[in-house]
Chain A
């Protein structure tokens, strides 16, 4: 015992571990950790005529109070919250429903359904955005013809072009595309529930509904929580769909502006406004804080509480 312990203490430092860890860590630190920290610091500076000057929280105060900035910022934030709420209320419940149906015992063609429904999720958001833009375009008339054929013709409108409906329409498109993710993750969890548990409850005379609500649902809650936090991060970081369909100006009249597009415009500028890297960094920092707070809340409250239900 003594001997082996001593050899361990005298072992030379394992330099090869840096041979393994070094390259990956170096790239990760240089192109992810450092830029994130640098962005946070940059948000405390102001750049004028090539000189950068420390200004503390001034950029943030400008963002949330200055009349030129604050309305755009609060608008983007509130749109983003709606966008997220829409996904939580629609995407994840539909994903759950599809997963439950897919996991019905002895369902034929289950793998075909799964493969086909997941297909849109694989494609680029940019492509999906354009596809829907064409389909909803009043010029082409596919959606109009379709609505008339099912007797809802009077509801046809240029949904993507109107201030009141553009954000909702884009949310629908996004939900349509990404419903595959909650479906697949929840489906996987449902498959992993041991058959014995389900059989036992059936033998005890539980109805399929009871089995679902009292046995399956608690077991998939951790997955639902994970899906929610993935949705949260993805939604508060969304950019491509709006940019592809509505351009950097997120029209009409900024009604589809999300934090991602707002960040892009702040950083690169648009029309008459000049881009600013320090204001851009301030927007990115706020997005960072929002995402961080969301993730922390998830880790501290939801996940801790949910783990009690795990096997």
Chain B
């Protein structure tokens, strides 16, 4: 390639790459600045927060009093546990049930196939939130209001359409011979799925996990409506109510926000490679 390019490009390329880095760096600062400001100030005392909000905490201004207040005044641990439980259960079941459904819809021919595929496809675009009025009535009838079960059920219904779509695409790439060989050996359909297909779906499952997990962990709407009680509150709802209530107490508000941000940032930094691979390979085909 180099041979075809004019000689003077190296200088031009230099200045071009400086511009590119300049813009990207500037945008990175814009993206991170607000988050860093909040985390930084959460570790300062009240005076430090207001006197010089842009300064890092020093030995003089460093203080954990905000965190103390939050931990004493609310059940942050419980809220985080609720969120974790709901997210893990819902994501796990979305993946399992989604993989089973995707397998059934792609492998077997039957009458309702097209209709069911279409129903799932609709769910990708139409937000389940619009059915809230009836979901709440249903949960009241089933006696599930203020239980984590209600959230798990709704999140499974919310996550399945995309899961079925992504996993179906993936099931289609599995060579037919593999399954046919097993069938010739009279292996049952269930064993074919669980011991041959399911392990092969792992990469696609990671993608589904990423797409399903984030909206569930961050959701406010359904916890607010279906499970607002103290015992079933998720972390997003807990933070929303805590910060709304103590909005004038800056040290604890900043600490509460930091406690909600930092775990996600740590997880994101650990899994960002997989997450971005999922985003860049799974979504766009």
Residues of A within 8 A of B (CB): 14, 16-21, 23-25, 27-36, 38-39, 42, 97-98, 101-102, 104, 107-109, 111, 113-120, 122-127, 130-132, 134-135, 140-142, 145, 176, 179-180, 184-185, 187-189, 191-192, 199, 202-203, 223, 226, 229, 233, 237, 239-240, 243-244, 247, 260, 263, 267, 277, 280-281, 284-285, 287-288, 291-292, 295
Contact = CB atoms under 8 A, between A and B. Distances in A.
Nearest to A173: B34
Contact of B101 (A25, A125, A130, A184): A25
Contact of B32 (A119, A122, A223, A233): A119
B34 A131 contact: yes
Contact of A130 (B108, B156, B253): B253
A122 B8 CA distance: 43
The 8 closest A-B CB pairs, nearest first, are A35-B131, A24-B97, A188-B280, A35-B134, A31-B157, A20-B104, A38-B134, A124-B218
B233 to A, nearest CB: 13
Interface stretch (B19-27, B62-70, B73-81): B19-27
Given A113-B25, A140-B50, A233-B127, 19 more contacts: A14-B110, A24-B156, A24-B160, A27-B97, A27-B157, A28-B160, A31-B128, A104-B17, A117-B28, A117-B31, A127-B257, A130-B243, A132-B34, A142-B37, A226-B284, A240-B220, A280-B132, A291-B126, A292-B126
Nearest to B110: A17
Interface in B7-46: 16-17, 20-21, 23-25, 27-28, 30-32, 34-35, 37-38
Contacts of A111: 276
B29 to A, nearest CB: 9
Contacts of B105: 21
B53 A141 contact: yes
A280 B133 contact: yes
B268 A122 contact: yes
Interface residues of B, number: 89
Contacts of B284: 185, 188-189, 192, 223, 226
A131 B250 CA distance: 12
A32 B133 contact: no
Contacts of A281: 133-134
Interface in B57-114: 97-98, 100-101, 103-105, 107-108, 110
A21 B50 CA distance: 58
Nearest to B142: A30
Contacts of B128: 31-32, 35-36
B134 A34 contact: yes
Nearest to B220: A240
B264 A122 contact: yes
A27 B127 contact: no
Contact of B54 (A17, A145, A179): A145
Contact of B108 (A17, A124, A233, A244): A17
Given A124-B217, A135-B34, A284 B108 contact: no
Interface string B147-158: 000000110111
Contacts of A14: 108, 110, 189
A28 B268 CA distance: 29
A289 to B, nearest CB: 10
B1 A199 contact: yes
B174 interface: no
B261 interface: yes
A140 B53 contact: yes
A27 B17 contact: no
Contact of B190 (A19, A97, A134, A229): A19
A132 to B, nearest CB: 6
A192 B132 CA distance: 39
B279 interface: yes
B253 A134 contact: yes
Q: Looking at A18, A28, A267, which has the most chain B CB atoms within 10 Å of its CB?
A: A28
A183 to B, nearest CB: 9
